[in-house]
Amino acid sequence: MAAVEIDGSEGEGGGQVLRTSLTLSAITKKPVRITNIRANRPNPGLQMQHLTSARAVRSVCRGKLTGAEPKSTELVFEPGEIVGGRYEFDIGTAGSVTLVAQTLIPILLGAAKESELRISGGTHVMKSPGYDYFEHVFVPAIARFGAQVGTTLIKPGYYPRGGGCMDVIIRPSKLLGCIIWPKEENVQALIRLSNLPEGIAVREKKVFVQNGTTDVHIRNDQSLSVGNAVTCWKGFRGAYVLGQVGKRAETVAQEALDMLKAEKNEVDVHLADQLLIYAALAEGRTAYTSGGISGHFRTNASIIAKFVERDIREEGGCVSIS
């Protein structure tokens, strides 16, 4: 079978092109060749997070992978049979554990037996879903399709040292389309601190309370690096902001709250993108509304269309997959 050719610099041109391509290659059994991987990024080519995802996909479907080396800009993958079971993957840096998990979950839903993953790296890092968003927004959302997934945070990990760890249990599941997305209006918030004074979290909590949100929890953890993460959500709409040196605690909390307040539709702008692959694999029609459609979404839709024949439409924030 001829390989599906993917230009890794297409559209948004980030790591999602690689991850979506590998996931769908494994599921559809279509070989894939990806060139120009992250060509437009300041640090082009495969970084450890992307390498871990690629090698993990090879492991769970016994495939053949060539070009999987640091900074490589070309990769070829020939998928084999999907095999459920126990797996451990260590990124070795603060690369995102949730992005590795999102690469593997759709594949292992089609395995013949339950799978248990332990993934080590960064749990709360920039430019990826933080663990708490993953647990409280993403996992409940894919459950609407019938995906049976459970997750546990073992230890948080922040930039630059990482060292975090999460477990994921994935049970074989048949995916069905979903057109009903209940809107929850009760806001919940989770504030995490690592190796920082608890007063920071108290100040962040005060912002939520002053804005009418009282369902706020604080977790004071130990990790290899200092860290502060604020996550808030209401149903399938969430927001996640990391604290930074020199950034006031009140600003971090207010940014998260403002992001959430701006999400007035069924799913948030990030989830709209993350649901696409499940909708494309599910039997039947899926539809949802989002307050915004990102370039990330459009790139993802373009890659998906190269592997599966589904009609993906978006107009004015209304998404339909049939």
> Which DSSP category does 55 fall into?
H
Distance CA 140, CA 274 (A): 12
**What are the tokens at 59?**
């492991």
Distance CA 210, CA 22 (A): 45
Count of CB atoms within 10 A of residue 264's CB? 11
Q: Which candidate, 90, 20, 10, 86, places its Cα nearest to that of 49?
A: 90
User: Which helix (H) or strand (E) is 240 found in, with range?
Assistant: strand 237-242
Helix (H, G, I), strand (E, B) or coil at 69: coil
Bridge pairing between strands 312-315 and 237-242: unpaired
Count of CB atoms within 10 A of residue 64's CB? 11
CA angle 67, 68, 69 (to 5 degrees): 95
Helix (H, G, I), strand (E, B) or coil at 137: helix
Whether the CB-CB separation of 15 and 60 falls below 8 Å is answered with: no
Catalytic residues: 296
Count of CB atoms within 10 A of residue 57's CB? 26
Tokens 């610099």, located at residue: 9
CA 198 to chain CA centroid, nearest Å: 28
